[in-house]
Homo-oligomer: A and B are copies of this chain.
C-alpha cells in the first residue's frame, strides 16, 4: 500500500501541479478543498472535482470556512480595525482574504491526516507570488510542522511539502506539463465562472506564465484577451 498524503487542492494551477508532484512522489491522495465565500467558489469547486476525477481520487473533503471571511468582512463595519492596504483591493479579494488562512486550512488538513493516517500535507504555496502573505513562507511551514509534532498523538509523523514554493508561474506551467498535470481543468480567474476574464491579477499572472513557457493556455478566455509577456 502506498503512503497517504493530503493535498490542498483549490482548483488553481499551483495546487494542481502540487497534486501532480504528490502523485509522482508515490502517494495515494486525499484531496481537501475549502470554500470561504470567494466569488468564484462554484467554479473552483468544479475544478477541484474535475481534477480529482482525472486522477481517480476518491478521498475528497470539502469544508466551508466562510466564518473566516466573515471575520475579515467585519473590518468594514468595525472602526477599531485598521483598513486594508490598497494593494489587496487590486487582487479583488478584500472580503475573502483572511489573515492566517493557511494555518486554518493546514489545521483542518492535519486533523484529517491524523484520522486517515496520512504522513504528508502538500500545499501549493508560492513564496514569490504570494503578495507577501506571511503564511506562504517556508519559515511558516517549518513552524507549523513543529505544532503538528507537538499537537498530534505520539508517533504521528506528518510533514508539510511545498513543491512549488520557489517556482515562478512559468516554472509551474513547465513542471505541470512535464508531470502531465491536467492544466486544462484548472481555474484561476477571480472574477468570472464561464470563461476566464483575462484581466484580473490571477489571469494576468497565469497568462504570462504560459506565455513565457511558450505554450498556449488551454482554458477559454473572454474574447479580446491579450497576452502580456
Instruction: Flag A101-117 by CB within 8 Å of B: 1 or 0 each.
Output: 11110111011101111
Q: Place the interface of chain A in its size category.
A: 35 or more
Cβ contacts under 8 Å, A114 to chain B: 99-100
Residues 109 to 140 of chain A near chain B (Cβ within 8 Å): 110-112, 114-117, 134-135, 137, 139-140
Residues 126 to 159 of chain A near chain B (Cβ within 8 Å): 134-135, 137, 139-140, 143-144, 146-154
A64 at the interface (CB under 8 A from B): yes
Shortest distance from the beta carbon of A174 to any chain B beta carbon, whole Å: 29
A53 at the interface (CB under 8 A from B): no
How many copies, total? 2
Cβ contacts under 8 Å, A117 to chain B: 80-82
Residues 31 to 72 of chain A near chain B (Cβ within 8 Å): 61, 63-64, 67-68, 71-72
A78 at the interface (CB under 8 A from B): yes
A23 at the interface (CB under 8 A from B): no
Q: Which of B68, B74, B111, B146 sits near A146, CB closer than 8 Å?
A: B146
Instruction: Jot down 27 A-B pairs with beta carbons below 8 A, ordered by A.
Output: A63-B67, A67-B108, A71-B108, A71-B112, A71-B115, A72-B111, A78-B116, A81-B115, A99-B111, A99-B114, A99-B115, A100-B151, A101-B111, A103-B110, A104-B104, A104-B107, A104-B111, A107-B107, A134-B151, A134-B152, A134-B153, A135-B150, A135-B151, A137-B150, A143-B143, A143-B146, A144-B147
User: Which residues of A pack against B, CB within 8 Å?
Assistant: 61, 63-64, 67-68, 71-72, 74-75, 78, 80-82, 98-104, 106-108, 110-112, 114-117, 134-135, 137, 139-140, 143-144, 146-154
